[in-house]
């Protein structure tokens, strides 16, 4: 599973085909492309942060082993930190998978919207043409496809938001662990500085990831508001 993958190429193709002016369709396109691209980039940042914390925890394990009895209560904490980082990375994989589904469905939605716009213009501009009525079944089929696609897109956006919220809960637990980590590090004598640094790294990483996740959930809300007319919840 490649983490932090770019949005579907179909989205970029649609973006390049845009003409002048800024319609509702253009707004939808911009919100989807910018939102999904940024979530993918932010996901890559999260995985990098998690790997850094994981390496720090492994280093802390070595230091606490050297400290022996002084770090007896610190050693289990390193196991917990590694469990947290593994959970973050697993959830990041789920986020990556769901992000791909969102971008693929969004690309289908935008193409469907574009077809609908073309059908509408043809039916309006050539209303008196002899065979124009033959286009109405295709236009109606496209309308039904658009409605079904919106439901599917909403489902994938909801699943993506759910993964981000799960990730946020995991990161909140990491903040609690960082506080415990700092307390135990203070009892390790000459090893205090090195082990306190692990606590500080974990706290800093957790806060950074929380900020990224908050922004990602906001972007999902923006897509839902612009494309679906709903907001969902970031709670």
| Model pLDDT for residues 49-72, shown as the tens digit of each residue | 989 888 888 888 899 888 898 888
pLDDT at 13 > cutoff 60 = no
Average pLDDT over residues 191-215: 91
Separation of alpha carbons 149 and 154, rounded Å: 8
Provide the residue range defining the domain that includes 67: 9-228
CA 37 to the chain's CA centroid = 9
- The Cα-based distances of 83 to 78, 87, 89, 91, 200 in angstroms read 9, 6, 10, 12, 18
- pLDDT (tens digit, 9 = 90+) per residue, 71-119? 888 888 888 889 999 999 999 889 888 988 888 888 898 899 899 999 8
Average pLDDT over residues 209-230: 89
Nearest 5°: the CA angle 40, 46, 50 is 150
Average pLDDT over residues 129-133: 79
> Is 120 inside any structural domain?
yes
State the total domains in the chain: 1
The first and second tokens of residue 156, run together, are 């994938």
pLDDT tier for residue 180 given thresholds of 50, 70 and 90: very high
Cα torsion 35, 40, 44, 50: sign: positive
The first and second tokens of residue 182, run together, are 């700092």
- Global pTM? 0.78
> Is 2 inside any structural domain?
no
Nearest 5°: the CA angle 49, 233, 93 is 35
């Amino acid at each position: 599973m490649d983490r932090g993958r770019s949005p579907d190429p179909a989205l970029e193709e649609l973006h390049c085909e845009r003409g002048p002016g800024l319609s509702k369709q253009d707004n939808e396109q911009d919100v989807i492309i910018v939102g999904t691209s940024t979530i993918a980039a932010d996901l890559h940042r999260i995985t990098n942060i998690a790997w850094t914390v994981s390496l720090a925890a492994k280093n802390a394990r070595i230091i606490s082993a050297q400290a022996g009895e002084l770090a007896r209560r610190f050693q289990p904490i390193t196991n917990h930190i590694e469990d947290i980082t593994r959970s973050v990375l697993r959830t990041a994989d789920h986020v990556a998978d769901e992000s791909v589904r969102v971008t693929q469905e969004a690309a289908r939605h935008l193409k469907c919207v574009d077809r609908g716009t073309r059908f509408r213009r043809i039916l309006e501009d050539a209303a008196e043409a002899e065979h124009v009525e033959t286009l109405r079944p295709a236009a109606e089929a496209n309308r039904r496809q658009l409605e079904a696609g919106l439901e599917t897109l909403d489902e994938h956006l909801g699943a993506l938001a759910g993964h981000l919220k799960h990730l946020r809960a995991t990161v909140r637990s990491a903040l609690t662990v960082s506080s415990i980590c700092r307390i135990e590090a203070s009892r390790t004598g000459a090893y205090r500085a090195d082990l306190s640094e692990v606590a500080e790294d974990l706290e800093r990483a957790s806060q950074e990831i929380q900020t990224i996740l908050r922004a990602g959930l906001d972007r999902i809300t923006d897509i839902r508001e612009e494309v679906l007319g709903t907001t969902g919840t970031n709670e």
